[in-house]
Chains A and B, each alone.
Chain A
Amino acid sequence: MSKFRSNGKREMPELNTSSLPDLIFTVLFFFMMVTSMREVEVKVQVKTPNGTTEIEKLERKSLVSHIYIGPPSKSYRAALGAAPRIQLNENFAEPEAIREFVIAERESMFEKDKPLMKMSLKIDKGVQMGIVTDVKQELRKAKALNIVYSAGIDKSQMR
């Protein structure tokens, strides 16, 4: 008999899963780092325009506040109609409320970040300029001068 021949039935060794939790925790931490909490529920329909080369990515999310402008979503249509509305935080607002909103946003920031505050204007393509101009005037009054016209990057048009 060869000494390599085993006797009896061999059992398949079980896979050691003791490091599986660690593995999944690593993935979890990765996701916690690269993502951010979902912003507020958007109550207006916003489809931003597309640009190509001039679009910049907003790097530090803590510096950015959002203003949404667009027609109310379907569930709010009945009460509000289809005319474009402004949304600040969770609520619909009038342009006059922007100044208060800017002050509140500014208060929540670190002192050294305050001059770097950016307002991201998420405006629907179909909106008319009147409401946009009103918002811009209010932002100027509130001294929030750095604005970003939120837009997607149209890769197919890139040269």
Chain B
Amino acid sequence: MGKGKRKVPGLNQSSTADISFILLIFFLVTTSMDVDSGLARRLPEWDPNAIEQEMTIKERNIMTVQVNKNNEIHVKNGVINRVIDISELKDIAKEFIANPDNNPSLPVIEEYNIEDYGVVYTTIKHVISLQTDRTTNYEIYFQVQHELSKAYTELRDAWARQTFGKELSKCDEKTEQPVARAVYASKISEAEPKQYGTAQ
């Protein structure tokens, strides 16, 4: 028998680094870092009992954007009725939504009361009706949605700059941004597929 205390030999830790390297590489391989991004939209509620409502929208308040099977974009509102290029869509939509010159053939500018803010004058009753064919290309449809969304954003931005004196993204998220969103609320209506072809 040995005498006195025996020293416990130290654990060899030189391979810990290798082990953690293996773990690191495993995580690098199995995970993905890419952040998903996209264009957010909200679908209308589904109501199975909905009787086809005879919407009484005044002619001047409606703009129809029709993307046909040849991927041509046909726009019809009070001042325009023709096939357009995608690059024109944003400005046409902006003019339609805002009606800056109070044109009698573009949407009515009305008083509109926003809660916690007050009265603004805007074309609250305008509707953009987006119609597609079953064989329309998805990318064109996406670009149309994107351009319309851009039109709304730019109008809100201009309004925020005029009213609050700063860009929309710099406005307060709780108080100022919702107001700008309410002034130019997105009113894109997509035709029910079964109605397509019968409407108008």
Report which A residues bind B (CB closer than 8 A): 17-18, 20-21, 24-25, 27-28, 31-32, 34-39, 48-49, 51-58, 61, 64, 118, 120-121, 123-130, 132-133, 136-137, 139-141, 143-153
Interchain nearest-CB distance for B26 vs A (Å):
9
- A36–B30 Cα distance when bound, in Å, is 9
B145 touches A140 (CB 8 A): no
Indicate if B41 sits at the interface (CB-CB under 8 A).
Answer: yes
Beyond A28-B24, A147-B43, whether A128 also contacts B38 by CB under 8 A is no
Interface string of B10-22 (1 = CB under 8 A from A): 0001101101110
A31 touches B41 (CB 8 A): no
Set of chain A residues within 8 Å of B164, measured between Cβ atoms = none
Indicate if B117 sits at the interface (CB-CB under 8 A).
Answer: no
Indicate if B44 sits at the interface (CB-CB under 8 A).
Answer: yes
- A134–B148 Cα distance when bound, in Å, is 22
Set of chain B residues within 8 Å of A39, measured between Cβ atoms = 32
- A145–B146 Cα distance when bound, in Å, is 18
Indicate if B112 sits at the interface (CB-CB under 8 A).
Answer: no
- A150–B36 Cα distance when bound, in Å, is 7
B138 touches A54 (CB 8 A): no
B32 touches A35 (CB 8 A): yes
- A43–B142 Cα distance when bound, in Å, is 23
- A146–B38 Cα distance when bound, in Å, is 12
- The A interface is mostly helix, strand or loop, or mixed, namely mixed
User: CB-nearest residue of chain A relative to B36?
Assistant: A58
A27 touches B142 (CB 8 A): no
B137 touches A126 (CB 8 A): yes
Beyond A21-B13, A53-B153, A58-B36, whether A129 also contacts B135 by CB under 8 A is yes
A149 touches B41 (CB 8 A): yes
- A64–B146 Cα distance when bound, in Å, is 21
Indicate if B113 sits at the interface (CB-CB under 8 A).
Answer: no
Interface string of B38-55 (1 = CB under 8 A from A): 111111111000000000
Q: How many residues of B contact A (CB 8 A)?
A: 45
User: CB-nearest residue of chain A relative to B149?
Assistant: A54
A49 touches B27 (CB 8 A): no
Set of chain A residues within 8 Å of B134, measured between Cβ atoms = 128-130, 133
Set of chain A residues within 8 Å of B35, measured between Cβ atoms = 57-58
User: CB-nearest residue of chain A relative to B143?
Assistant: A49
User: CB-nearest residue of chain B relative to A150?
Assistant: B38
Interchain nearest-CB distance for A85 vs B (Å):
14
Indicate if B59 sits at the interface (CB-CB under 8 A).
Answer: no
- A127–B134 Cα distance when bound, in Å, is 10
User: CB-nearest residue of chain B relative to A119?
Assistant: B43
Please pick, from A36, A56, A145, A149, the residue contacting B142 in the complex, using a CB distance under 8 A: A149
Beyond A20-B17, A133-B193, whether A146 also contacts B42 by CB under 8 A is yes
B27 touches A35 (CB 8 A): yes
Set of chain A residues within 8 Å of B27, measured between Cβ atoms = 28, 31-32, 35
B132 touches A54 (CB 8 A): no
Beyond A129-B132, A143-B46, whether A27 also contacts B40 by CB under 8 A is no
19 pairs, CB–CB < 8 Å, chain A vs chain B:
A21-B16, A24-B24, A28-B20, A31-B27, A32-B31, A48-B38, A49-B142, A54-B146, A55-B38, A58-B37, A123-B138, A128-B138, A140-B43, A143-B45, A148-B41, A149-B39, A149-B145, A150-B36, A150-B38
